[in-house]
């Protein structure tokens, strides 16, 4: 198996906690894995992925990290904070994935936190052009090299090996050491690397846990195809061809509407449910849509009554205040 250099960003196991009130309400044994506590302040799942990306950057003696994402991206914000802790500069490229121009969205939340980290921000005008966004980053990296810098690009698209998924093999192993085996693990599925890594990790440990990814950016069909392509690249990267197959992946898109970065009624109900009964906060873009899968799939029978279920809370809380008006409005209708 190939060797991949890492840096340590997640310094301890993240807690796993029972959700007693919702367990009783839903008729399942429900737990929460607090990966919102992974890594830096207001961290999340991206910290586990960044251990590998920044490990490669440090191994290559990089002094500057380049990364692209949505205006309220948690990934770019956590990357900037993590890079700062390693003495590196960050160039953040923000993409217009969400059709909105209000000042709160453009200046609050993760955008504000990016400025505190001292990152340089550039912009890419399109939101659904992964290859173009990556190309713009590599062009900026070329410019920096001419200035004597040593940049490292964290890519968004599918052309580069999915390094970040390796971090969630370790998360699956961690879960196995913290609690008896779960029947189901539910997680957001966006770039697909967290979802993919969990699937691979449970397979490595021999666990029978079924991982269900709740779609946050693409339809069920589109996300399933993306996961298949990522799985092939992941197996090749690890020199284990054919280890993952299409039967390993399950996705659900019942909370995706009205689209990426927009709070719909299903996600708002999930946000209210988790806050009202357990006091945990989830964000509109990712974790509210992820958690929404659990009551919906219990109701449909896909998750049977009495099942042991773990919700992977992947963070995203830095963006909550950028969506304050949306949240206030949606919760009045719940």
**Whole-angstrom Cα distance, residue 171 to residue 138?**
30
Question: Which part of the chain has CATH 3.40.50.1100?
Answer: 16-44+162-332, 46-154
Percentages (nearest 5) of helix, strand, coil residues in the chain: 45, 15, 35
Distance of CA 325 to the CA centre of its chain: 23
How many C-beta neighbours within 10 Å does residue 87 have?
8
Ranges of residues in the chain whose predicted pLDDT is under 70:
1-2
Distance of CA 281 to the CA centre of its chain: 16
Given this model, what pLDDT does residue 268 score? Answer: 97
Instruction: Return the CATH fold of 16-44+162-332.
Output: Rossmann fold (3.40.50)
Active-site hit among 2, 24, 73, 82:
73
24 tagged catalytic: no
DSSP of 243-262? SS-GGG-EEE-TT-TT-TT-
Given this model, what pLDDT does residue 158 score? Answer: 87
With CA atoms as reference, report the closest residue to 269 among 71, 19, 22, 99: 22
| CB distance 90 to 65 below 8 Å | yes
Tokens coding 74: 């948690």
With CA atoms as reference, report the closest residue to 314 among 204, 169, 190: 190
| CB distance 290 to 314 below 8 Å | yes
**Which letter does DSSP use for residue 67 in this model?**
E
**Which letter does DSSP use for residue 13 in this model?**
P
pTM: 0.96
Given this model, what pLDDT does residue 1 score? Answer: 47
Given this model, what pLDDT does residue 127 score? Answer: 84
**Whole-angstrom Cα distance, residue 260 to residue 292?**
15
| CB distance 256 to 289 below 8 Å | yes
One CATH from 3.40.50.1360, 3.30.565.10, 2.30.30.40, 3.40.50.1100 for 46-154: 3.40.50.1100
Given this model, what pLDDT does residue 2 score? Answer: 66
Give the DSSP H or E segment for 124.
strand 120-124
Tens-digit pLDDT profile for residues 219-251: 999 999 999 999 999 999 998 888 899 999 999
Query: For residue 206, is it left (φ>0), alpha (ψ between -120 and 50) or beta?
Result: left
């Amino acid at each position: 198996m190939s060797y991949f250099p890492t840096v340590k960003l997640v310094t301890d196991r993240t807690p796993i906690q029972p959700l007693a009130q919702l367990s009783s309400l839903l008729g399942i044994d429900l737990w929460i894995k607090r990966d919102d506590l992974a890594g830096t302040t207001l961290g999340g799942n991206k910290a586990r992925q960044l251990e590998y990306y920044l490990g490669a950057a440090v191994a290559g003696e990089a002094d500057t990290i380049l990364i692209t994402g949505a205006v309220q991206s948690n990934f770019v914000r956590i990357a900037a904070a993590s890079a700062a802790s390693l003495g590196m500069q960050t160039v953040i490229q923000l993409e217009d994935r969400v059709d909105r121009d209000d000042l709160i969205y453009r200046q609050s939340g993760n955008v504000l936190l990016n400025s505190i980290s001292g990152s340089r921000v550039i912009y890419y005008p399109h939101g659904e052009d992964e290859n173009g966004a990556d190309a713009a980053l590599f062009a900026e990296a070329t410019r920096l090299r001419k200035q004597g810098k040593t940049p490292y690009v964290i890519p968004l698209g599918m052309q580069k090996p999915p390094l970040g998924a390796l971090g969630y093999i370790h998360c699956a192993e961690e879960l196995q050491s913290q609690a008896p085996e779960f029947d189901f693990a539910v997680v957001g599925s966006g770039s697909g690397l967290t979802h993919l890594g969990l699937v691979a990790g449970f397979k490595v440990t021999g666990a029978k846990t079924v991982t269900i990814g709740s779609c946050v950016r693409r339809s069920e069909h589109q996300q399933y195809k993306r996961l298949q392509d990522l799985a092939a690249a992941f197996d090749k990267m690890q020199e284990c061809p054919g280890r993952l197959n299409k039967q390993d992946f399950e996705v659900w898109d019942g909370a995706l509407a009205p689209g990426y970065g927009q709070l719909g009624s299903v996600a708002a109900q999930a946000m209210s449910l988790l806050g009202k009964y357990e006091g945990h906060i989830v964000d509109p873009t990712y974790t509210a849509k992820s958690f929404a899968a659990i009551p919906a799939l219990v109701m449909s029978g896909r998750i049977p009554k009495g099942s042991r279920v773990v919700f992977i809370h992947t963070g995203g809380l830095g963006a909550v205040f950028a969506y304050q008006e949306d949240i206030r409005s949606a919760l009045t209708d719940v």
